[in-house]
Amino acid sequence: MEIADSTEIINSALDRIVAGYVFPSRAAEVDRALRARLAAGEYHALSGAALCEAVTAHLQEVCPDRHLRLLWQDEPRPPTAPADDGAGRAAFLALMRAENHGIRRSEQLDGNIGYLDVRWMADAGEGARAIGSAMELVARTRALLLDLRKCRGGSPAGSAMWCSYFFPDDEVHLNDVYERSTDSTRQYWTLPYLPAPRYLDRPVYVLTSVTTFSGGEDVAYTLQAHGRAEVVGETTRGGAHPTTHHPVTEHITVTVPTARSVNAVTGTDWEGVGVQPDRAVPAEKALETAHERARGRWG
């Protein structure tokens, strides 16, 4: 049962957005627009999931950032400290363990074509063995289909680990992430050590859909920008900003993008525009299309 009223909820969410959103000027615009709606009584009759949906729509109307959201969860969660990074990381790791570190399926397709269905970008520490095991299974294939059509996000470091398998060493600058709170930039490079063989000198096809988001987009965009993979499928959802989750009530969380990605090749990212496929086909045709192209390249 939601105890806080809509005014309290929106005020709390806006305070977090103004304090943390990666672009302060956009945060100020959001704050003005939603406080005007609040003063006009637009949220007075709303509560629960309906309130979250309305506020999210209005947030993204002013600032079309798909990570900027008010989320409703049916099961109550104790409102812990807003910036409890330890609790957030623990919850993410628990999810990754339950989801096999994002790896749903590995298969050898006809023509000795490898196939991996990846749903999350796992933590680069705990997920390293699982990622390595998946790459070991396709290590001797002649081409690889990396299916990210249902990949919804994950860890930037995990994305960098996945990308590292497709480059020969640790000398490839993948991207940077700028963090507003510290006014600092973290560089992501290919890793010097991996627990399975690198996948080199063979074609890689990344499959995408309108569902592909965040960390999944990171891998698709990075490999495409570096000329290491061909993207086959649909334009992705378009969320490039690493995000912090702030509990507002037991049922409501505001997600605030606090950082931005900068690709080392393009100097920008996929925020708001998505990853554009090299070969555009409906998502349900992407696997068949990529498989045919992979087999064709090898005669």
Please write the tens of the pLDDT for every residue from 106-117. Answer: 999 999 999 999
Please write the tens of the pLDDT for every residue from 194-204. Answer: 999 999 999 99
> Do 1-90+243-257 and 99-239+274-297 have matching folds?
no
How does residue 2 score in pLDDT terms, banded at 50, 70 and 90?
very low
Please compute the mean of the pLDDT values over residues 200-225 and round it to a whole number.
97
Residue 85 has pLDDT above 80, yes or no: no
Look at the domain 99-239+274-297 and name its fold. 2-enoyl-CoA Hydratase; Chain A, domain 1 (3.90.226)
Please tell me the predicted confidence (pLDDT) of residue 190. Answer: 98
Average model confidence (pLDDT) across the chain: 93
Dihedral sign of CA atoms 178, 21, 80, 72 in order:
negative
How does residue 34 score in pLDDT terms, banded at 50, 70 and 90?
very high
Please tell me the predicted confidence (pLDDT) of residue 79. Answer: 61
DSSP-based three-state secondary structure for 13: helix
How does residue 156 score in pLDDT terms, banded at 50, 70 and 90?
very high
Q: Strands, E, within 123-242: which ranges?
A: 143-147, 173-179, 184-189, 204-208, 230-233
- CA atoms of 283 and 208, how far apart (whole Å): 7
Please tell me the predicted confidence (pLDDT) of residue 75. Answer: 86
Please write the tens of the pLDDT for every residue from 258-293. Answer: 999 999 999 999 999 999 999 999 999 999 999 999
Please tell me the predicted confidence (pLDDT) of residue 128. Answer: 96
Q: Answer whether 199's CB lies under 8 Å from 229's CB.
A: no
Please tell me the predicted confidence (pLDDT) of residue 91. Answer: 84
Residue 80 has pLDDT above 60, yes or no: no
DSSP 3: -
Q: How large a percentage of the chain has pLDDT more than 70?
A: 94
Q: Answer whether 149's CB lies under 8 Å from 233's CB.
A: yes
- CA atoms of 17 and 50, how far apart (whole Å): 20
Please compute the mean of the pLDDT values over residues 29-49 and round it to a whole number.
95
Please tell me the predicted confidence (pLDDT) of residue 77. Answer: 78
Please compute the mean of the pLDDT values over residues 88-105 and round it to a whole number.
91
Whole-prediction pTM:
0.87
For domain 1-90+243-257, the CATH architecture is 2-Layer Sandwich (3.30)
| C-alpha dist (Å) from residue 264 to 18, 134, 205, 225, 271 | 29, 27, 21, 9, 15
In terms of Cα–Cα distance, which of 194, 165, 160, 161 is closest to 175? Answer: 160
Domain edges within the chain: 1-90+243-257, 99-239+274-297
In terms of Cα–Cα distance, which of 221, 231, 222, 226 is closest to 274? Answer: 221
